[in-house]
Structure 1
Amino acid sequence: MSARTKARKRALDILFQSDVRGEELATMLAVEAKRAASEPARESSWLYAREIVDGVIDNSDAIDEQITTYAKDWSLARMPAVDRALLRIGAWEILYNDDVPTAVAIDEAVELAKEFSTDESSAFVHGVLARIARSS
């Protein structure tokens, strides 16, 4: 598994925990940063995970607007928390990270949805991210 895939999993964990616990994303990021400092072997995945989460924090309104626009009759509140987190990660990569090809961002989000969410989630995540990609 690549360092970026591991980083996406870490970012997913941070976003999910923040959402489920109702805590500020920046607070959860600080907790994870403290933990990461004691795990130098995982530094390569931590750096990109932090970049993702910082990017989601910095662009949260625009990212959520894109997701809401292209989720077709699904509000953010109605989505499973894992799907919300994956869509935010994928949307950030598509819209704000030129180093990641759009197809890779979508594929990684879909694979994580298959692993961590409902049976229907991978198709949902794919559809929303593909529409965001076409619009950007």
Structure 2
Amino acid sequence: MINRRIIRVKVFQALYAYSQSGKAAMSKYENELLRSIDKLYDLYILLLQLPVELAKIEERKQEESKNKILPTYEDLNPNTKFLENRVVKLLEINAGLNKEIKERKITWAPYQDELMKFYRVFKQSDVYEKYMNSGRKSFKEDKDFVESIYSKLFSEYELLIQTIEESSIYWSEDDLDYVLSMTIKHIRKFNTSSDEYTQIAYKFKDPEEDTAFIKNLFRRTIGNDEELSEIIAEHTVNWDLERIAVTDFVILKMALTELMFMPSIPVKVTLNEYIELAKNFSTPKSQAFVNGLLDKMVKDLKEQGKIQKAGRGLVGGL
């Protein structure tokens, strides 16, 4: 669920914070880095619960209507199509999801006021009305409806989104956008063969390897700071270093760390990832600057024998 691109973003943010701290204890920032990544998975688990929480509210509201002093025919015979939605049921009984909810203590309780407001928007939406009154019942329709809860309703409801973001220092707008896309991707994988044991996305594809990647990238970028700074200085002799963005320095040092000290990562992957990082997290001119500088540094470092790639078909530094 948490891929290498997101990991690089989180390491970049941690290294930037470390660089602005007067270089305090590295372990403190590494712990914060690991926690920020773990909290991203918390957000994923929280969002997977959303349709179930809406169904709980729907069921409670229908029971309240039935218990009126003078209930109407509609009160006594409510449309239960949403409560019978098979994808919502799969989320509700999913063993892996419930295990994570329990262990991580994930709950929508802190967001009840905003959730109730969202429920009212949900009930009044064209998406809800069309689904409830379609006259059809199919797994595809159930799945499409749940996907629409995320893509057409939740994604546009700023009040709830803002409340969630503000509830944790580890959750940003970019984090929520990424996790929302991963949640929708998971919903799309449900099929008629899915059951309570259908696997939700793991935090990491390879926990041991990905955790090692995080720590190595963070530690080696800091540990080799002097050498990395010298390489950058040698390639920016015609530049006023004070005018180069701090974010660009961090991005370049991370890229050099991968190129020189992480032999299993292809050069092309490193170049593409850090050019993209510069585009999204630095100045408007950073993408072109980082791209041009990395090309020069890679050429020189290869000639000096400082880039040696091996493993997974990488012999030759490709």
| Length-normalised TM-score, structure 2 | 0.38
**Aligned mates of 2:211, 2:40 — CA distance in 1:** 9
SS in 1 for 2:23: coil
Query: Matches of residues 1-136 of structure 1 in structure 2 within 5 Å?
Result: 3-24=3-24, 26=26, 27-33=28-34, 35=35, 39=39, 41=41, 42=203, 44=207, 46-74=211-239, 76-136=241-301
One-letter identity of the residue aligned with 1:135: D
CA contact (8 A) 2:14 2:32 kept: no
| Length-normalised TM-score, structure 1 | 0.83
C-alpha change, 1:78 and 1:31, in structure 2 (3 Å) is same
In the TM superposition, residue 19 of structure 1 has moved relative to its aligned partner by 1.8
Q: How many residues align?
A: 135
CA contact (8 A) 2:18 2:24 kept: yes
SS in 1 for 2:20: helix
In the TM superposition, residue 101 of structure 1 has moved relative to its aligned partner by 1.3
Q: For each residue in 1:13-52, what CA deviation from the matched residue of structure 2 results, as whole angstroms up to 9, or x when unmatched?
A: 111111233333613223334x259659445555422220
Pair member with larger Rg: 2
CA RMSD of aligned residues (A): 2.6
Q: For each residue in 1:66-102, what CA deviation from the matched residue of structure 2 results, as whole angstroms up to 9, or x when unmatched?
A: 1111124335543212111110111111111111111
In the TM superposition, residue 128 of structure 1 has moved relative to its aligned partner by 1.5
Q: Quote the sequence identity (%).
A: 24
C-alpha change, 1:2 and 1:111, in structure 2 (3 Å) is farther
Unmatched runs of 5 consecutive residues or more in structure 1 = none
**Which 4+ residue blocks in structure 1 deviate beyond 3 angstroms?**
36-47, 74-78
**Larger RCO of the pair (alpha carbons < 8 Å, separation 6+):** 1
